Structure 1
Amino acid sequence: MENQSPIKKYLPKVILVVVLVAGAFLGYSKYKYAQTHEDTDNAQVETYFVPVLPRMAGYVKSVSVKDYDNVQKDQLLVEIDTDEAKLALDEMEADLVQAQTDVENAKANIQNLQLVIRSNEANLKASILRRDKAKKDADRDAALVADHAITRKQSDDTKSAYEVLAAQYEAGVSDLTASKSRLPILTSILHKAEASLTIKKVKIDQQKLKLSYAKVYAPASGKIGRKNVEVGQFIQASQPLMTIVKDSTFWVIANFKETQVEHLKIGDVAELKLDAYPEIKLEGKIASIAEATGAKSSLLPPDNASGNFVKVTQRVPVKIEIIDFQKHLDILRAGLSLEVSVELKK
């Protein structure tokens, strides 16, 4: 039997030692890393989503963008047909002219009545003077009759003249009272006409404002998704037409286990690795930690008081700001998954 060479004799032992040393080194490295870092792969890139909503109903006249186009703030996106709304505005403006005429007529009636009242007052003053003179004449003639200086007929004539003038005075007083009583009526008619005029002006302003809503502009800059509007389609007010994904800011929401939150602090540095671009590493820092778990913030939070309680490790949302995210706008997309590793402060 030939003797084994030293290499064949000791090679397995050397390999075993190398494997054990490498395993121990890797294990120690992972242990040390775990003591100084908290990791999670339950994380997504977030940004603001701005809905594009019309403020008036109507048929779509034109659509200026296509699916997934980049848009700038105040860029025209959709235009709504306004022919019917313009005809309605013309009708309102015609009603406004009529209402202005009603106001002018009401003012003219009041001015005419005021002239009548002044005329009645002047006539009443003249009637008072004539009545008083006739009273004096009647009293004088009555005395002369007693002295037999004039005939009874002459005295009766002056007395009758006085009575006629007194009756005319009473009629003048009635006419003046009647004229003055019409003044509040005409004034209320004027106020009603003025109120109607104001309402019609407001309606015209509302219609003009409504016409300004016919053009739908982008409320923010970004990229739209799939649009939900086509030319000729009838749309309602507040109907979602498309959504703009703002490209002005991005952040990460990482859902850490409740057992990890104890070591996390605002300002901790985080390493971010997108699943779509694993070779690219981004940097971030913790901006805030949610006050409630994700389950409590859901539409139907679990009710542990129901008696059907199963303890499940909860997740706490943590907001992480992406440092210098402008340099990575070409790869950042809302909703992308990523792995997050937070370096703990001592």
Structure 2
Amino acid sequence: MATPVQHDSAVAPTQSAAYEPVVDEQPEGRSKRPIIFIILALVLLVGGYFGWQRYQFGQTHEETDDAQVEGDVYPILPRVSGPVLEVKVEDNQPIKKGDLLVTVDPADYQQRVNAAEAALAAAQANVIAARAGVGTATANVSTAQTTIGVSEANRSRLEKDLKRSEFLRKEDIIPQSEYDAVQANLKSTSAQRATAQQQVRVAQQQVAAARQQVAVAEAVVKQRQADLDNAKLQLSYTTIVAPGNGIVSKKNVQPGQVVGPNQQLMGIVASERTWVVANFKETQLENMRVGQPVTVEVDAYPNEEFEGKIESLSAATGARFALLPPDNASGNFVKVTQRVPVKITLTKTDPEHPLRAGMSVVATVKVK
């Protein structure tokens, strides 16, 4: 009986492996080198291209990120003091020019108006009285002048009577007593005339004084009228209105609060016009001119660009307007590149992307 032949399992794999084809494998690192070289070359080419573009861009443009949006901000300051009765607005509320913002208690100022009106009425009455005094003094002058006229007529008559009496006395027709009476009447009439002339001078002086009193009274009326106008002006300051269109910001006043003059109650940010102030280095201003186009990128809208132009360049650096400007003559001199504010106006506005005062921007000026 034949027995099956058993194959050695340890030898079989070796025999099968002897029949596999031999493959000539190359080193792994040597096969990837061309790809790396190609990638490096592409990176260098792309980097060089963009570097050249950036260099060309830098030759014709000046850029700074030290820039921000500016706008008109109206501080709301009361001119009079007193408790606040009403506050008509809230933070971030749009308002128009002339809208009522705050009302200060007007009671004290209304009382001053009433007192000024009474003082004005009294001064006007004094003017009327002074003018009446002028009329009285003028009448006294007329009376005195009339007395002078009567005295002149009596004196003329008595002088004629005296001449006749002298003739009659020489002829012994009339007694001495009658002659003496005529002389006495003539002297009395002369005295009355002198007295009347003195009264005329006094009355004329009274007229001048009365007219002076009228001038003084009229001046007092003007002063009282000025006091009344000032009292009404102070009363009008108790109602604070918006100086222009805008949005209420930073409101810090409440009803019942006692406010004083020049105390800021809120701010009104004008919504009609904004611009950009870019602080360029002084080394960037060589080719910068008014009217050059500007591209503005706002941090709040990273996918949007705004077009503008240079409106003006400041006449001094920003450091000149600092609270403590640098003094290079002090001996501790360290040269620092200064920055000059440049005002940029936007040529177009985008209602969907409003610019708010204080926003950070990047300004790029095309100088060539």
With the length of structure 2 as denominator, give the TM-score of the two structures.
0.85
Alignment of 1:16-35 (within 5 A): 16-35=40-59
Contact 2:248/2:267, CA 8 A, preserved across alignment: yes
Q: Which residue in 2 is equivalent to 1:218? A: 242
Alignment of 1:281-300 (within 5 A): 281-300=305-324
Alignment of 1:97-116 (within 5 A): 97-116=121-140
Relative to structure 1, is the Cα distance of residues 343 and 98 closer, same or farther in structure 2, using a 3 angstrom cutoff?
A: closer
Once the two structures are aligned, what percentage of the paired residues are identical?
Answer: 37
Q: Which residue in 2 is equivalent to 1:161? A: 185
Q: Provide the rounded CA distance (Å) in 2 between the counterparts of 1:250 and 1:317.
A: 16
Count of aligned pairs: 344
Q: Provide the rounded CA distance (Å) in 1 between the counterparts of 2:185 and 2:282.
A: 114
1:247 is aligned, of 243, 251, 271, to 271
Contact 1:61/1:79, CA 8 A, preserved across alignment: yes
- Residue 7 of structure 1 deviates from its aligned partner by 6.2
Q: Which residue in 2 is equivalent to 1:90? A: 114
Three-state SS of the structure 2 residue aligned to 1:284 is: strand
Is 1:341 paired with 2:354? no
Relative to structure 1, is the Cα distance of residues 260 and 123 closer, same or farther in structure 2, using a 3 angstrom cutoff?
A: closer
Contact 1:222/1:244, CA 8 A, preserved across alignment: yes
Q: Which residue in 2 is equivalent to 1:185? A: 209
Q: Provide the rounded CA distance (Å) in 2 between the counterparts of 1:258 and 1:177.
A: 84
Is 1:170 paired with 2:194? yes
Q: Provide the rounded CA distance (Å) in 2 between the counterparts of 1:228 and 1:289.
A: 36
Q: Provide the rounded CA distance (Å) in 2 between the counterparts of 1:29 and 1:206.
A: 68
- Residue 65 of structure 1 deviates from its aligned partner by 0.9
- Residue 324 of structure 1 deviates from its aligned partner by 0.7
Higher Cα Rg, which structure: 2
Amino acid at match of 2:203: S
CA offsets 1:127-184 (integer angstroms, 9 cap, x no match): 2212222222223222222222222222223223333333333333333333223222
Q: Which residue in 2 is equivalent to 1:15? A: 39
Q: Provide the rounded CA distance (Å) in 1 between the counterparts of 2:202 and 2:34.
A: 135
Relative to structure 1, is the Cα distance of residues 102 and 343 closer, same or farther in structure 2, using a 3 angstrom cutoff?
A: closer
Q: Provide the rounded CA distance (Å) in 2 between the counterparts of 1:42 and 1:248.
A: 24
Alignment of 1:224-263 (within 5 A): 224-263=248-287
Residue ranges of structure 1 left out of the alignment (5+ in a row): none
2:300 is aligned, of 260, 266, 276, to 276
CA offsets 1:256-303 (integer angstroms, 9 cap, x no match): 222222232333322221122212222222222233222233232222
- Residue 9 of structure 1 deviates from its aligned partner by 5.7
Q: Provide the rounded CA distance (Å) in 1 between the counterparts of 2:197 and 2:366.
A: 102
CA offsets 1:175-228 (integer angstroms, 9 cap, x no match): 333322322222222221121122112211222222222211111111121123
With the length of structure 1 as denominator, give the TM-score of the two structures.
0.90
Q: Provide the rounded CA distance (Å) in 1 between the counterparts of 2:352 and 2:343.
A: 19
Alignment of 1:68-83 (within 5 A): 68-83=92-107
91-100 or 158-167, which deviates more? 158-167
Contact 2:298/2:304, CA 8 A, preserved across alignment: yes
Relative to structure 1, is the Cα distance of residues 306 and 91 closer, same or farther in structure 2, using a 3 angstrom cutoff?
A: closer
Q: Provide the rounded CA distance (Å) in 1 between the counterparts of 2:25 and 2:296.
A: 59
Relative to structure 1, is the Cα distance of residues 93 and 329 closer, same or farther in structure 2, using a 3 angstrom cutoff?
A: farther
Contact 2:301/2:353, CA 8 A, preserved across alignment: no
- Residue 83 of structure 1 deviates from its aligned partner by 1.4
Q: Provide the rounded CA distance (Å) in 2 between the counterparts of 1:214 and 1:83.
A: 10
- Residue 106 of structure 1 deviates from its aligned partner by 1.6
Q: Provide the rounded CA distance (Å) in 1 between the counterparts of 2:35 and 2:179.
A: 167
Relative to structure 1, is the Cα distance of residues 157 and 31 closer, same or farther in structure 2, using a 3 angstrom cutoff?
A: closer
Q: Which residue in 1 is equivalent to 2:14? A: none
Three-state SS of the structure 1 residue aligned to 2:40 is: helix
Amino acid at match of 2:54: K
